[in-house]
Amino acid sequence: MDPRELTVQMSQAKLSAVQVVSAFCKRAAYSHQICDLLLEIGFDLALRQARECDDYYKKHGELIGELHGLPFTMKDQFHIEGMPTSAGYIGWIGTFEGKTDSEKYMKSESLLVEQLKSLGAIPIGKTTLATGTWSAITNNNILGYAVNPHNRQLSTGGSSGGSKTKLDIYDTVLGLTSNKIEGEVAMQALRGSCFGFGTDVGGSVSIPAAYQGVYSLKPSTGRISFQGGVKIVAMPAVVGIMGPSLDVLQSVFKSTLSTRPWTRDQDVTRMPWQGLYDGQLPKRADLAFGFLENDGIVTPHPPVARAMRIVKKAMEMAGIELVGWHPPSNSEVANIHGSLARSDGCLDVWQALELSGEPLTPELELTFPKRRAAPPMSVVDYQSFVVRMVAFREKWNEYWESSFERTNNAYATSLNVLDYPSIGIPITVVDQHTDETDPKFKPLTSKDAEVMQTYDPGEFHGSPISIQLIGRRQDEERLFAMAKIVQDAVDNLENAGVDFLHC
């Protein structure tokens, strides 16, 4: 049942919060048994809060808030009162971020959690992640590897940032079919909670959620609070939302903004929900979407290319203009992003590992080849990379503005370096017979050849494939409207009987 329908049922006393939370706790437990997803389990706390929700409803005859009684999960980078936070470190177990004498242990709560609870939402657990978030595969010395919910023979993936080779591929390809996901995305894929939250520094929300057939919002910085969270890397992380539909994502995002987080977190922009297209979407004749077939560096794998053809055909059938999108090259992005994200030498990760003396995971051996933290970047070098990042953003902005000379509107590919928001929409699944590699394939670059060699249609058969929509910085409300237009077009194409396997 859709979370919005659950809320309606609870508002009419047809369901209680205890019933809803109990059902999802069971589902989350099953999900954990299948994929090893939960670092922290808070079922007892959740049921207690659910009873409080039911008591409130009986007394006042109304719901606490828009998210009344809806259970959610979060990546273990957030503090929830009554639950420990390990963030995947053995040395943090039984402590507050490694501090054994802190009064904050199990008493601290991230601002986002406080906001969600004030709306009636109920946390039921926290999901696993890569140790230090520095890996494209979810593995830590507490739970070990998390397995893929669609195919247990495939990696679950994890937060972006592992080896140099993997990072280069992971951050530059548009829609690489490698099923790189983190624990929270797997929990959403298995419907272990109504919606979930992750963090994103290099694609850890938008890309992995897309590979699991889960809808996702990766906002710009300054829209969702990360105050009181575990900020592990030097580059600012954004909090993203994952769930079963666009409407759920929008409802959760809009609800968090209603709590006015900027009054308590100075890093959140004072920007309430804009309501640009509430109740009515823009006319299709006034729209145009940019369409990026490849970034000139890497060719999308065959099923990803097919998903893009499906969307292109759907948009054309709906009478929506598509324009070719040829933005500034992404060639320098990996260097800018990796250098800034690791500018501190990952010292905080190394120090957390040293607390227990835990061994490096195979993935972290690539981050710490000399088995120690790297020297931090000099201030001069850091400033030079910031200057390059600003220049890259300016180039993109100029290109986007120039698109208005050809049409009225546009969207483009997403990079964390640009701080653009993105929404992922599931489109199709891999078919081993249809999605074979073209024998005439000619790689664009040596990296393109390397990426294409990783594709095996039999290995990925049945895996979800999604597309990603990109909007301008802090323009999430408009992006939601555009995403709904794309979703409607794809749905109409399918309802018209078009065979997605032969697009």
Are 68 and 10 in contact, with CB atoms under 8 Å apart? Answer: yes
Position 295 scores a pLDDT of 86
pLDDT value of residue 155: 56
Quote the CA–CA distance of 90 and 359 in Å, as a whole number.
Answer: 10
Residue 217 lies inside a defined structural domain of this protein: yes
Residue 15 lies in a domain: no
Range of the domain at 262: 72-269+282-333+384-502
Tell me, yes or no, whether 494 lies in a domain.
yes
Is there a domain that residue 346 lies in? no
Q: Output the pLDDT for position 416.
A: 72
List the structure tokens of 44: 């007892």
CA dist 399 and 412 (Å) reads: 10
Tell me which amino acid residue 255 is.
Answer: S
CATH code, domain carrying 124: 3.90.1300.10
**DSSP symbol at 377:** P
Give per-residue pLDDT as tens, 486-499: 999 999 999 999 99
Q: What are phi and psi of 73, to 5 degrees?
A: -125, 165
What pLDDT was estimated at residue 407?
Answer: 53
Within the chain, which residues score under 70 in pLDDT? Answer: 136, 153-182, 232-234, 285, 404-415
Q: What is the pLDDT of residues 248-266, one digit of tens each?
A: 999 999 999 999 999 999 9
- Say whether 424 sits in a helix, a strand or coil: strand
Is residue 447 domain-resident?
Answer: yes
What phi, psi does 213 have (nearest 5°)? Answer: 70, 30
Total number of domains in the chain: 1
Task: Give the model's pLDDT for residue 182.
Answer: 65
- Say what the pLDDT of residue 178 is: 39
**What confidence score (pLDDT) does residue 170 get?**
29
Residue 451 lies in a domain: yes
Q: Considering the domain boundaries, does residue 375 fall inside one?
A: no
> What is the structure's pLDDT at 415?
47
In angstroms, the Cα distances linking 113 to 80, 166, 187, 414 are 7, 33, 18, 27
Residue 318 falls inside a structural domain: yes
Say if CB 439 and CB 429 are below 8 A apart. no
